[in-house]
A and B are shown apart, each in its own frame.
Chain A
Amino acid sequence: MTLEQKMDDFKAQFESGGPPYNAPKAVIEVFHRATEDLCQSGLAERALKTGERAPAFTLNNQDGNSISSAELLAKGPLVITFFRGHW
């Protein structure tokens, strides 16, 4: 199954208001409004794009070890995925 299919299934399940999330209709509407507002804000269009320079970074990993983008890029291309968090 593709990631898109999995995410669509999750969304359908969540928006059904049924278990396991049992999301009230009002909450679902808030999420819709938030997504719509964020899309309309144009923020995504102002984010860094193809052809631009990626900022260098040094951040801690899950074990508290320091990881630098420069070291990773010395070995090859780098895929960076930004996610909101697993709550």
Chain B
Amino acid sequence: MNIITNPLYLQVLVGILVGLGAGYLGSFMVFKRMSLVGDVISHVALPGIALGLIFNFNPFLGAFTALFLSIVGIWFLEIKTELPSETLVGIFFALSLALGLLLTPEQELLEVLFGDITRVGPTEVLIALILVSSLFIIMSLIHRGLTLSIISKQLAQSVGINISRTSFIFLVLIAIIVALGLNVTGVFLTGALVILPAAAAKNISISLANFTKSSAIFGGLSAFGGIVLGNYLGFHPGPIVVLTGGFIFLITLFFKK
């Protein structure tokens, strides 16, 4: 069957692309000690998706807008108030979840919370391809500065790195990958897509290069395995993707460095 028309191929393609991007970004999030941010930030998308469903525009757009606004809000408040990002994310998380649960039409709620990759079409593949490629290109430009600012802010500043700009770009990339991930695993489980591959990769890596590469690969592998297995067993793919990631994590524990 043609790749363009076979829904499973399309799902797997979107899954792998999002998995690669989420795994790669996730490694830097773990490196930056913001795993919790990754875990809860997806919930922030909920009101955006709900508005998309109510007013009939693409929920991805709604999700990205909600994520983007929250991230700008968090970034701004972090600079102004010096509260840690985890506290701020926690506040945004609680508020958006409450708002989202109120707004989302009841019959759509389950799908929004757990994702429905069976709905993706060629357009979603194209969007994922463009956004994930841009993500890798942008990361290749900022990863040195980002890494140095994670190790020591003062050292990074002293060599002329604009820390707040770098961390803003990084947050926007997180918003993009989380919005894309909503297709695959839904609001509740997108955080796992970002964190599990990175946690597994960290177990087996000494160097940053290996860490980020294997995290991307584990992300792609979890999505691929989860979607194929879910389809084969007749289960919802989202949770199986997360379980596959968890399984990879367990295996890496035996090879911990």
A, B assembled together: no
**B residues engaging A (CB < 8 A)?**
none
A residues within 8 Å of B by Cβ?
A: none
